[in-house]
Amino acid sequence: MANAGCGSPATILFLFLFQAALQKGAAQYPVVSQNLATDNVSVVEGEMAIISCRVKNNDDSVIQLLNPNRQTIYFRDMRPLKDARFQLVNFSENELRVSLSNVSLSDEGRYVCQLYTDPPQEAYADITVLIPPGNPIIEARDEVLSEGNETEMTCTAMSSKPAAAIRWMKGDKELPGKPKVELTYDRMYTVSSRLAFTVSKEDDGVPVVCIVDHPAVKDFQAQKYLEVQYKPEVKIVVEFPQGLTREGENLELTCQAKGKPQPQRVNWVKVDDDVPSHAVITGGDLYIENLNKSYNGTYRCVAANAVGESYDDYILYVYDTAPSTEPAAHDSRAGEGTPRTVDHAVIGGVVAVVVFAMLCLLIVLGRYFARHKGTYFTHEAKGADDAADADTAIINAEGGHTNSDEKKEYYI
């Protein structure tokens, strides 16, 4: 569309008079209409804002855009205001859309979309200018810390609008801070947050992060790594022997010490006694040859640095010499001279078979004797059953025969 910002004097005079009439009517009869719509705008300082005046049902009425001082920015598609940062984006009977580039804090305020009807209709668009804070700054009370001590940190985000919010993270854990907000003379906000916490040796090398939340910026943060000193961690490692310590064997122990700062040397002592005179101590290693029971006791490795001292103990108990498991020297055959193992399951099976066989034998013999005893009594009584009287029965029972059955033999 053509821009009439530099039109003829007559055109400018007409616009001026028309604007005055509109302003007078609007001042007397301001009406907020649902037929006219616009939107609030939030814009970061230095960027571009878009203001849109939209008409749902237009009857060829004039539409214009006014600044917070109610000066006409655009009258239809003409710009009476001599501010080149305002540019026409779109003009139709249903919309007037204008852009404002390089927005500054002075541009903030309420802009008016006005439809010249009787009475005039108005809608309001509030422009809010966002000003991001400067780079956050972390200040630490202590540069080097010792485990168990408390420290403080302060994070500051300056000159923002609106006020920023500050969060703290130590590693992956969020910590609560104490915020403080100050309003400066130029309507800006300076926000600071103070964090206090106690450190441990696990915090060494862990980052403490100050995170600034503001609608004008994302992922705005600063961090500081903790440096924590701690006393040594001491551990005794048995290099030899791997099993029980027995008389005549050798013992080798290694003392491992780690701290910050690193301990320069370690000491070996025997609790409540002296270290054997022939023991060899080289750095963190303790070596004792030809052990015997007089060496029993607690051996302690002590390590120290600027923070403190730590130790670890090893209790030595010397056992008797292990018995020999080798076969007799005069017998070279493998397996000889060692006790034979007996399979108890085989023995049990043999005993069970023998018992079963004996039971079967007893049953067979019992049945045999019972059968023959019954037959004997039957033959004894057979003659008595056939006798005619008692005398004859006695004779027959004793093995005799009746006269009628007796056979006679003759010899010639």
Could you list the pLDDT tens digit for every one of the 412 residues in the chain? 334 444 455 455 455 555 555 455 444 455 676 789 999 999 999 999 999 999 998 888 899 999 999 999 999 999 999 999 999 999 998 999 999 999 999 999 999 999 988 888 999 999 999 999 999 999 999 999 999 999 999 999 999 999 999 999 999 999 999 999 999 888 899 999 999 999 999 999 999 999 999 999 988 999 999 999 999 999 999 999 988 999 999 999 999 999 999 998 899 999 999 999 999 999 899 999 999 999 999 999 999 999 999 999 999 999 998 765 544 333 322 233 333 344 566 687 788 888 888 888 888 888 777 776 554 444 444 454 555 555 554 455 444 444 444 444 443 3
The answer to whether the Cα torsion of 292, 295, 298, 302 is positive or negative is negative
Q: Which of 112, 116, 115, 121 is nearest to 31 (CA)?
A: 121
How far is CA 77 from each of CA 5, 86, 389, rounded to the nearest angstrom? Answer: 10, 12, 168
Q: Transcribe 193-206 into DSSP letters.
A: EEEEEE--GGGTT-
Q: How many CB atoms lie within 10 A of CB 229?
A: 19
The reported pLDDT for the residue numbered 30 is 53
Structure tokens at 35: 């037929």
Backbone angles phi, psi at 161, to 5 degrees: -150, 120
| pLDDT of the residue at 116 | 85
Specify the CATH number of the domain 231-316.
2.60.40.10
pTM of the complete model: 0.63
Fold of 134-226: Immunoglobulin-like (2.60.40)
Q: Where are the domains of the chain?
A: 35-130, 134-226, 231-316
Domains 134-226 and 231-316 share a fold: yes
CATH number of 35-130, picked from 3.40.640.10, 1.10.8.190, 2.60.40.10, 3.30.40.10: 2.60.40.10
Q: Phi, psi (5° rounding) for residue 251?
A: -125, 130
User: In the numeric block, which tokens belong to residue 192?
Assistant: 């600071």
- Residue 365 has a pLDDT of 83
Query: What is the C-alpha to C-alpha distance for residues 257 and 308, in angstroms, rounded to an integer?
Result: 13
The span from the CA of 165 to the CA of 157, in Å, is 9
Cα separation, 104 vs 43, whole angstroms? 9
Sign of CA dihedral 233, 239, 243, 244: negative
- As beta bridge partners, residue 110 has 126
Give which of 322, 325, 324 is closest to 244, Cα–Cα.
Answer: 322
Residue 347 DSSP SS3: helix
